[in-house]
Amino acid sequence: MSNYQFSDQTSFYSGKVRDVYSIGNQLLVMIASNRISAFDVILPKPISYKGQVLNQIAAYMLNATADICPNWLMSTPTPNSAIGKKCTPFKVEMVIRGNLTGHAWRTYQSGIRTLCGVTMPDGLKENDFFDHPIITPTTKAAVGHDEDISREDILKNAIVAEADYEIIEQYTRLLFERGKQLATKQGLILVDTKYEFGKIDDTIYLMDEIHTPDSSRYFYAEGFDQRQAAGEKQQQLSKEFVREWLIKNNFMGKEGQSVPEMSDEWITTISNRYIELYEKVIGEKFLPQNLSEEENFEKIATALKKINPAG
């Protein structure tokens, strides 16, 4: 956990993988840590360079989608930090799926054909494309597990106003389409992802990270059709391999289950997979940076001063 005290700081929150500082009423500083979570549980050991990977992919993707909708990002003063607008978040996460994978597949495999009020057709195999991407929102839990929720229940319970929901639904589809286009250029398929939105006055903003390995799943496009036809597992870039390792070791975040021991070799493997994803998604060589806590703080404080001279 980072432990900074910035000028005009009003609050601090340590999330599953990020430390968030509120600066006055208008700005946020987000530090992407090397913590890793799965099944809504923070795993006991950090992953080298994971914070830098997430922060830099998110910044790249936010800049590459800024023409679709406004987003919160203003500056990335250090490899693992971002400064942006403080929004009032909607209490849902917009999950969108192009393929029958992960949680959707586990639901489908159990015999259930409806997910978040969306009907999934019979006869699909794991990782098959849906005819059209489906949106399967979740509630945004401050602690514990996010829960699946339907569009109808979001509106019925006034979690998001209908006019706002229609906008974030449209943004979600447009952002996913752009994400798929960016992935295609790199020989990848963006399989599924999630977006978070918030408001400042009457304007809706895209918040947090987008199209990173923590929020998204990618498959390699080359050989995808052949692997599907042969019933083979798809080659993927995401943290699903961490979830699969946990499931194999009898951990799914349920009561009474213990996180399996993470060897140094396994932690290095996870770090290398994150770096691989960075290089595949961005198309550039990853340059690991190791700033001291003091250097990190000074660069962020300097950037804040430029954005908010009165602070």
Q: Are 94 and 190 contained in the same domain?
A: yes
Q: Are 113 and 221 contained in the same domain?
A: yes
Q: Are 66 and 94 contained in the same domain?
A: no
The residues, ordered by sequence, that sit 6+ positions from 222 with a Cβ below 8 Å of its Cβ are: 187
Q: 4 lies in a domain?
A: no
Q: What is the CB neighbour count within 10 angstroms for residue 181?
A: 11
Give the model confidence (pLDDT) of 48-103 as tens digits. 999 999 999 999 999 999 999 999 999 999 999 999 999 999 999 999 999 999 99
pLDDT at 43 over 80: yes
> In terms of residues, how long is the chain?
311
Q: What is the pLDDT of residue 76?
A: 97
Q: Are 162 and 218 contained in the same domain?
A: yes
pLDDT at 17 over 90: no
Q: 147 lies in a domain?
A: yes
pTM assigned to the model: 0.90
Q: What is the pLDDT of residue 61?
A: 97
Quote the tokens at residue 196: 């978070």
Q: What is the pLDDT of residue 54?
A: 93
Contact indicator for 84, 104 with CB cutoff of 8 Å:
no
- Percent residues over pLDDT 70 in the chain: 97
* CATH number of the domain bearing residue 157: 3.30.470.20
Q: Are 23 and 109 contained in the same domain?
A: no
C-alpha to C-alpha distance for 92 and 283, rounded to whole angstroms: 31
Give the model confidence (pLDDT) of 142-196 as tens digits. 655 679 999 999 999 999 999 999 999 999 999 999 999 999 999 999 999 999 9
Contact indicator for 56, 278 with CB cutoff of 8 Å:
yes
Q: What is the pLDDT of residue 104?
A: 97
Q: Are 192 and 162 contained in the same domain?
A: yes
* pLDDT bucket at 309, cuts 50 / 70 / 90: low
How many folded domains does the chain comprise?
2
Q: 1 lies in a domain?
A: no
Q: 103 lies in a domain?
A: yes
Q: Are 143 and 284 contained in the same domain?
A: no
Give the model confidence (pLDDT) of 228-262 as tens digits. 999 999 988 878 788 889 999 999 888 888 889 89
Q: Looking at 138-142, 158-162, 204-208, which range is the least confident one?
A: 138-142
* CATH number of the domain bearing residue 292: 3.30.200.20
Q: Are 107 and 154 contained in the same domain?
A: yes
What is the average pLDDT across 31-38? 91
Q: Are 142 and 216 contained in the same domain?
A: yes
Q: What is the pLDDT of residue 143?
A: 58
Q: Are 82 and 100 contained in the same domain?
A: no
Q: What is the pLDDT of residue 41?
A: 85
Q: What is the pLDDT of residue 308?
A: 75
Q: Are 33 and 99 contained in the same domain?
A: no
Quote the tokens at residue 252: 């799914």
Average pLDDT value for the chain: 93
C-alpha to C-alpha distance for 218 and 180, rounded to whole angstroms: 9
Q: 80 is in which domain, residue-wise?
A: 9-88+261-307
